[in-house]
Structure 1
């Protein structure tokens, strides 16, 4: 979701400087102001309601005419996998669809959604991994998952198959991705700068 401030607000205060290095989002979806977790429900709601991206792939919150840029510990979204199978973002938004499922070299799960890239909250990893299946329908074992993480082919994979194609989550092949490649692959800037 691309954010644009209200033109009337900008007309009233055209020279409000942007704010950098104050607001961040950690890997569990907690907002942080200068490193301190935001616990006030009203402030969390305000930040979540005004969260979006600009044309350059920076993530930010509008505070009236001011753009408050968000430093991302990993991805713009942190996703929760609920026991009933639903996915929601750290802002509480429902995820309608997932188009790609990835596993990085550290064992982090990344999901590409209609909202953008999201890191699965590590507290939901066990439930996610329990849903991963090998080509024969069995639950993916450690060896198969490690092969995906390494970007290699599992033993018994068909020639020409993609790395990780033998492990699936729901109907999606689990793909390898390196953490360093995530921002470029998914089109976001983790550290906005003036």
Structure 2
């Protein structure tokens, strides 16, 4: 968390939280949702300002209940998730020949497990406690396919991550991902249900 954010929290500790205004979509884009977008159930406008994106990514974390938020100075802005709290990009490092995974902030993501959901999405989890889960960006499905062997029934297989570290491709139901990995996809819906 940025020092300026920590200072603002110390100075104004009781600023109310907000929900519904920020969305993290299935392609790793941050989107601003004004009242009209929220009322229409629209994703909102993508945020393109590089400094703001960096600020959001550096101050993005989860609370103890699995709700992800962006700490915007003294205000906690809970994030609506298009699917998972992270989106990763798969690439080949041509200098080493190794595959790499990076999250939406450009940070390395070291997979511990890989999943195939019932909608054809590929998800990775890491070994953090609790595990972070990330959706593979759909532009990288071809590269993933080049390094995966699917079972004949399409329910599993093997992902060849490293020469010495293959990962079993496990099936997962899309409807169970949120509960299985302990995150809240819609803090706004949770807040509305509790009020």
Q: How many residue pairs were aligned?
A: 163
| 5+ long unaligned stretches in structure 2 | 34-43, 94-98, 161-165
Distance 1:71 1:55 in 2: 16
1:192 and 2:187 correspond = yes
1:119 and 2:135 correspond = yes
2:46 aligned to which of 32, 37, 56: 37
1:10 and 2:9 correspond = yes
* Structure 1 outlier segments of 4+, above 4 Å: none
Distance 1:72 1:11 in 2: 28
TM-fit CA distance, 1:114? 3.6
Distance 1:80 1:72 in 2: 17
Distance 1:186 1:178 in 2: 12
TM-fit CA distance, 1:15? 2.2
1:131 and 2:138 correspond = no
Larger Rg: 1
TM-fit CA distance, 1:145? 6.2
| 5+ long unaligned stretches in structure 1 | 134-139, 149-163
Q: Secondary structure at the match of 1:189?
A: coil
TM-fit CA distance, 1:99? 1.3
1:92 aligned to which of 89, 98, 106: 106
1:66-97 per-position Cα deviation (integer Å, ceiling 9, x unaligned): 101110000000000012211000011111x2
**What's the Cα RMSD here?**
1.7
